[in-house]
Amino acid sequence: MGLGTEGDWILSPPQSLVPGPQSPSMRPDLSVVVPAYNEAESLPELADQIRAALDGVGLTFEVWLVDDGSDDGSWAVIEALHAADDRFAGVRFRRNYGKSAALAAGFARATGRCVATLDADLQDDPAELPEMVARLDAGADLVSGWKQKRRDPWEKRLPSKFFNRITRWMSGIPLHDFNSGIKAYRREVVESVRVYGEMHRYIPLLAKWEGFTHIEEQVVNHRERIHGTTKFGLERYLRGFLDLITVVFLTRFVRRPMVFFGGLGTLGFVLGFAVLAYLSVVKLAFGVSIGGRPLLLFGVMLILLGAQSFLAGLLGEMIVRPEMERTERYDVADERRPRPEGARKRAAGEG
């Protein structure tokens, strides 16, 4: 057990599962990240289910249980699980930071060639994980669980359906359950995405932005909660919607703000010009006074807003461009280098 750089306690997995630079084959098949907030009653049963699901099919694994500031003794349970089976590792936050922070901590420590997430409340079924890993091995970048038959009260199901429909429309990703706790990723995906705030709901969108476009959905078994109470209220949907707007803007326009603000500016200019042109015709052709008409103020306001949007876009470009030139980042999926001339001639001579 050790103390992390942020002051949070860490229980590490066995060293045999931690790959060094010379031993990539030592990686476990799967790292399971489980955020937990006041789930002391559920954790022992969850650990048994994970062992049964993964040992039964011969998958090597580690589990990172992230205690997100619990006050019900969850950390003591995690310590006991680690002592009994050191494949179950743990991190304890000093206070409650939220699910995104817990996932980020688990992702940063995961060593498996695949990474999966589960909620700690036993509603997600670990028996789904082997099939998800098989889908990843078959070429998927990300597999998201779909709770097609959801075992939750209607006041959770109805807002969730609306939220998922909006997210599906805005993101262009045809998933039915963005907020599903059970997902599986290729290792490269969790190394590429950055999760903060309430962004855990939008990991598929963040992954798509990074170029991981093979996203699959798997119908999963969803179970009723048998211990504890839900930690989420309806306010999470408001926060989630605001985060969705943020993610969509960042993924589409953060590197080209003029496209967004310039589009708004153009729209304002066109509408304002049309309004003022109409009023000019009314004034010049029919002699009607337009000085007191609200439409005149509306047209002028549209043009001013268009000009401000253009200026905002230009300022955004001035801020973003130097940073992009210094730190432009891209991920290389594969590469084939030319052979040196000498090696090419030797190969031709051997042939």
Q: What is the pLDDT of residues 234-270, one digit of tens each?
A: 566 666 677 767 767 766 776 777 878 888 888 988 9
Counting every residue written for the chain, the total comes to: 351
Tokens 């993964």, located at residue: 54
- In this prediction, residue 312 carries a pLDDT of 86
Token pair of 215 as six digits: 């996203």
* Percentage of residues of the chain with pLDDT beyond 70: 76
Pick from 177, 175, 207, 181: which is nearest to 194 by CA? 207
Mean pLDDT of the chain: 82
Q: What six digits make up the tokens of 276?
A: 């003022």
When pLDDT is averaged across residues 110-126 and rounded to a whole number, the result is: 94
Angstrom distance (rounded) from CA 144 to CA 240 = 18
Contacts of 70 (CB under 8 A, 6+ apart): 36, 37, 38, 39, 40
Distances in Å between the Cα of 191 and the Cα atoms of 142, 194, 318, 340 are: 13, 8, 30, 33
3-state secondary structure of 219: strand
pLDDT of residue 7: 46
- Write down the pLDDT at residue 19: 45
Sign for the CA dihedral angle at 25, 30, 36, 39 comes to: negative
Per-residue confidence (pLDDT) for residue 330, from 0 to 100: 56
Asked if 221 and 128 touch (Cβ cutoff 8 Å), the reply is yes
Q: In the CATH scheme, what is the homologous superfamily, with its name and number, of domain 2-253?
A: Spore Coat Polysaccharide Biosynthesis Protein SpsA; Chain A (3.90.550.10)
